[in-house]
Amino acid sequence: MRQLPPLLSARAFEVAARLGSFHKAADELHVTPSAISHQIRSLENFLGVELFQRNHRGVTLTVSGDAYVAELRDAFDVIAAATADLRQGKLRGNLSVGATSAFISRWILPRLNRFNNAYPQIELDLKAIEVPINLAKSVLDVVICMGPRDWTGQRADRILKSPIFPVCSPKVAEQLQELSSLRNWPLLHYDNGEEWARWLKAAHIENVDSKIGPRFNDCNLMLQAAVEAYGVGLTFTALADRELQAGLLVKPFKQMILPEAWYYVASPQTLAERPKVAAFRSWVLSEANAEVSDIARYRV
């Protein structure tokens, strides 16, 4: 039977020996210096030898401590390598991710090469979903959807809340010289008119029925209708970036509002910390944090 030392004490000793300080070891391990001292004293009692010489200047390794830490370091290196190999082995295979078709095509796909470069062994199975979705009853590992909602039993991390603003084709914009001229054009909807109602109120435009106008259950269709000059839609940069960059859509007015909902990346709690899921979530959060401000990119 193996006679192993207390592993927490052995780890504390290895860190303290590497850094040459109980205080620095405490910082690395997020404990107090007294806890490090207690762990090392416990190890010394177990071994029956003194590992450090203690004095008012600090601590130095004894001959026994120096010899022992060299062996321990090799053992910890072997454990770390085995752990990394196992974790990397779990960062492979399929990962099912659900989002609206617009979010997949307009946010994930333009960034997909970066994910593939970071995690070449993970194969994303991207599925277009309709919202709201019951994540607990789905077979998806991850969804990206809008909230707030009831996240009971799930881990949900907020990723995007960008200002929304009207967009239209340059042809339509020529006829929208004043806010009041918006009354002459259909409003294009990706909801039941709630966001248009809020935007019209913020812009102080009256006598416009926010609920009238074509409705689309896919943001791609709504934006295409705007490109084709069928009316004026509401969106935010992350979804309309392609058309704004190409000049197919423009912002006819300065007025912006913040949406009442955020985008979240969510997983069932039982899956949330699996390496593949955690890796994808970390990547999404990193990409979202790197987004440049909508206002800074598209001034009018």
Q: Does CATH place domain 165-246 in 3.40.190.10?
A: yes
DSSP summary character for residue 186:
P
- In this prediction, residue 113 carries a pLDDT of 94
CATH number of 93-159+262-297: 3.40.190.10
Q: Is the pTM of this model over 0.85?
A: no
Which residues of the chain have a pLDDT value below 70? Answer: 1, 82, 84-89, 132, 135-136, 291-300
- In this prediction, residue 87 carries a pLDDT of 67
| 8 A C-beta contact, residue 141 and residue 277 | yes
Numbered ranges of CATH 1.10.10.10 in the chain: 7-90
- In this prediction, residue 171 carries a pLDDT of 95
CATH number of 7-90: 1.10.10.10
Numbered ranges of CATH 3.40.190.10 in the chain: 93-159+262-297, 165-246
Q: Where are the alpha helices (DSSP H) in 20-156?
A: 22-29, 33-47, 63-90, 101-103, 112-118
Question: Token digits for 99?
Answer: 């989002």
- In this prediction, residue 298 carries a pLDDT of 37
Q: How many residues does the chain have?
A: 300
- In this prediction, residue 299 carries a pLDDT of 37
Q: What is the pLDDT of residues 224-250, one digit of tens each?
A: 999 999 999 999 888 888 899 999 999
148 cis-preceded (ω within 30 degrees of 0): yes
